[in-house]
Amino acid sequence: MSTETATPAVTEPRDVVIIGSGPAGLTAAIYTARANLAPLVIEGEPSSSSDQPGGQLMLTTEVENFPGFPDGIMGPELMGNFRAQAQRFGAEFLTEKVTKVDLSARPFKVYVRDTVYEAKSVIVSTGARSLMLGLEAEQRLLGHGLSTCATCDGFFFRGHHIAVVGGGDSAVEEATFLTKFADKVTLIHRRDTLRASKIMQERALSNPKIEFLWNTVVDDLVGDDRLEGAVVRNVKTGETTTLPVTGLFVAIGHRPNTDLFKGVLDTDENDYLITQPGSSATNIEGVFACGDVQDHTYRQAITAAGSGCMAAIDAERWLEAQH
Ligand code: NAP
């Protein structure tokens, strides 16, 4: 028995449909638009944390490491610039969420509610999201003392006492990295053993600037428009204290936004899309992937933008070869 209630409207096949609008997707849009491929960018929905148009930079404040902006630029402004540049060359935007894809035959089908956008090639740039603690205060303080990226934000905490949450390689690596800036880094872990690799553990355990709070979870964050402290609880004793930190880095893992492609595009053991080495090609001809959805190593706006450029060039060459 079919559960379909209406026949979806089907559009004329486009050369390129780009799914996702962070630095990777928007760079792919700029390049494919300038190659006269009239890309359609399905940019996501503003209300959603994982499908946020503009991607993770919309959740940050100042970006100081994007080349070309010697005085820094706000994350949302940077993404606004990317988008305007893509629009200038004719990229079209749809502020909706993709509900389903069918990559089993060409033209590919990208479903947005009851419309099917047909595409000769698809660029997947759906990004990844940082796992968060689930506290109400996180939304208010993200970018205001609360961060998910030590490489991006460590510099702002010179001379401060800050904390990192997590016990894996990310948390331990970030804590060690942050000692370059902070006077003191408290690593807050919910158990009494680290999951991180031995060598990283040893490095952190022997670092005099790192203090460990074992068996401890963060229950709340203090501060209205800037982080002033973290309310922490020892899960063994139940004792609650407020740690007077001005920065808190949440490093409890990331998840790529790959649910749409499960069982269709090849992924690694952590669900990241696999692209061929030195290329943005996936296991399906004509489908390309770029940005954090296929990169769990670098996760930077500039590397995502670089891979978006690769995907655009790969798609353009592939389309050219089809004719
Ligand atoms: P991860 O290995 O999944 O570790 C996540 C950590 O966060 C764990 O210690 C976990 O605690 C803790 N955690 C999870 N949810 C939590 C919650 N709600 N509240 C408090 N703590 C929570 O993630 P990752 O560190 O991001 O690493 C991901 C992968 O990348 C791993 O394979 C890692 O080896 C790799 N990586 C490698 C490097 C490197 O080699 N340079 C650097 C970074 C990451 P439990 O331990 O209790 O589960």
Model confidence at 47: pLDDT above 70: no
Up-side HSE of residue 240: CA atoms within 13 Å toward CB? Answer: 7
Mutation choice for ligand 1 from 187, 194, 195, 297, CB with most ligand atoms inside 8 A: 195
Catalytic pick from 51, 102, 114, 153? Answer: 153
Q: Which residues contact ligand 1 via a Cβ below 6 A?
A: 133, 165-171, 173, 190-191, 195, 252-253
For 13, the token pair is: 């096949």
Alpha-carbon dihedral angle through residues 220, 63, 29, 281, given to the nearest 10 degrees: -70
Compute the distance from residue 104 Cα to the ligand 1 centre, in Å: 35
5 or 64, which is more confident?
A: 64
How would DSSP label each residue in 187-234? EE-SSSS--S-HHHHHHHHT-TTEEEETTEEEEEEE-SSS--EEEEEE
Q: Whose CA is nearest to atom 23 of ligand 1?
A: 253
For helices 23-34 and 75-88, angle between their N-to-C axes, nearest 10 degrees: 20
Model confidence at 128: pLDDT above 60: yes
Alpha-carbon distances, residue 196 vs 168, 183, 199 (angstroms): 4, 23, 8
Whether residue 168 contacts residue 145, with contact meaning beta carbons closer than 8 Å, is answered with no
pLDDT in tens, 188-203: 999 999 999 999 999 9
Q: Is 309 a catalytic residue?
A: no
Model confidence at 14: pLDDT above 90: yes
Average pLDDT value over all residues in the chain: 94
Catalytic pick from 15, 152, 290, 292? Answer: 152
Q: Is 290 a catalytic residue?
A: no
Q: Is 152 a catalytic residue?
A: yes
Compute the distance from residue 204 Cα to the ligand 1 centre, in Å: 15
What number is the average pLDDT over the span 262-290? 97
Compute the distance from residue 167 Cα to the ligand 1 centre, in Å: 6
> Per DSSP, which regions of 33-137 are E strands?
40-42, 62-63, 73-74, 92-94, 100-102, 108-112, 115-124, 128-130
Catalytic pick from 15, 51, 149, 314? Answer: 149
Mutation choice for ligand 1 from 197, 235, 252, 254, CB with most ligand atoms inside 8 A: 252
Provide, for the chain, the percentages of residues in helix, strand and coil under a 3-state DSSP scheme, each rounded to the nearest 5.
30, 25, 45
